[in-house]
Structure formats: C-alpha cells, structure tokens
Amino acid sequence: MKKIFCVMMIACMAMSVMAKEMPKQGFGVQLGFAQPIVRTNAPSSPGTLVSDVHLNGLKVGVVYDASYIAGFGSTIGFNYTFGNNHTKWHKQDLTFSDRNLYTYHQVELFVDWHYKFEVAKETYIILYTGPTLQCGVKYKDRYEVFNRALREKVPEKCKTTEHYKTDEHNEAYRQLNITWGVGLGFQYKRYFLRGGYDFGLVNPYKHKYFDNEVRTDGRIDQWNIRAGVYLWYPD
C-alpha cells in the first residue's frame, strides 16, 4: 500500500512539473475546519465498531494547483491539522465521575486529482479525489477523575497517555496514516472553497490488545472544509 501510494504521489508531482508552461496554475493558502475521527473496532470481532472519537479543530496549509487539459488537473498541498475534544463527565458511583480529553496534531501531504466544470466566466464547480499521507505529531489522551463531594479532581487517579510512545500497557498508534478522499468544491477567480471526506486505509494500531493475541483494529477518517485564495494565479 505504501509503495503504491509513493508511486502515485511521484507520478502526480511529475505531471505538475510538466505543466509548468501551461497558463492555468496557481499557488495559494487555505484555512478551514477539520474533524479527525479515530475509530476502534472490537479485537475479538474485527469490523465491529466499539468506539469513535471525534476531534474538532482546524486545518491550515499551502496548495499548488495545475490544469492539464479540458478542466482536468491536480492539486498538491501541505497541511497542518489540529483537533481536540472531550467526553462528558460520567458517574462511576455516588462520589466519583470521570472523563477523557483528547488533543491531536498532525501534518499532511496530499494529492487531489480534480475536474473543474466552468459554469460561468471564471466560475467553476470542482470534483476531486486523491490520497493523503498523514504524519501524527502528537496524540494525547488525558483521563480525569472528579470527586463530586469535594468538588475537585483526584490527581492520583488522573493519567495522560501519549499514544505515539511505545508502552507495553498501551496499544500505541502508528504515526503514519494513508487516506483516500473524495470531495466537492467551488472556485470564483482566485477564491475557492472545498470540502470532503477522507477514508483511512491502514490500521493505526501497532500493538496487540493487552493480553489478547488479536491486534486491535480500526482506522482514522477525517471530515474537512477549507476556504482559500490563490496568491499567484496568472490568467
């Protein structure tokens, strides 16, 4: 899978370089909303969803757009994505409640093949699809316990887990993930809006599930919507 992905990325980048003499190119920036979704399946029953963590945050990056022929082209870009979220307080018993807080950072290299339908002068509807290579920078899970009677947290019961660090008591995550995205966009002159969904293609877990010999199964997906402007977009 990784070899195929690398070949596809190199091929698309080569096409973009070959298109340097063509008039329809652009270099710009984008900013938007991202929602990484960390899905976990039952170890004893692969494919059975037992939990998913929705991490709400932002995405910011740079893009290079090149058109080849009759509206067909590609967009290559580099993004930084941040997300965080927390669960609601859950009552353990008459005294204690607990919750989890998540913080997520990653960088992304993506290639989208697109087709632009010109619906009016310098106005386009865009369909796109393509792969993304994601590299996790930090993924933290903070477990907290709250004593409702004393109205304070219980420090000795709180724990922070760094998922990219190897721990024999924790099913640590791989830092590299590959997704395939599909989406829809709109462009008017130098300005564009794109949104879509990226499907995770690899199992992010690198350890077996505690004492069970079956590896934990899951994937990391992502919703996103981005607005941007081409700083360089010659006519």
pLDDT of residue 213: 55
User: pLDDT-derived band of residue 184, with 50, 70 and 90 as boundaries?
Assistant: very high
For the segment 99-147, what is each residue's pLDDT rounded down to a tens digit? Answer: 999 999 999 999 999 999 999 998 999 999 999 999 999 999 899 999 9
pLDDT of residue 3: 55
pTM of the predicted model over 0.85: no
User: pLDDT-derived band of residue 20, with 50, 70 and 90 as boundaries?
Assistant: very low
Q: Would the pLDDT of 157 be above 60?
A: yes
> How many Å apart are CA 8 and CA 11, to the nearest integer?
5
pLDDT of residue 68: 82
Q: What is the mean pLDDT of residues 173-194?
A: 94
Q: Would the pLDDT of 158 be above 70?
A: yes
For the segment 37-48, what is each residue's pLDDT rounded down to a tens digit? Answer: 988 876 655 556
> How many Å apart are CA 194 and CA 207, to the nearest integer?
36
pLDDT of residue 186: 97
Planar angle of CA 90, 158, 94, nearest 5 degrees: 35
- Find, among 16, 24, 15, 63, the residue nearest to 230 by Cα: 63
Q: Would the pLDDT of 208 be above 50?
A: yes
> How many Å apart are CA 42 and CA 204, to the nearest integer?
14
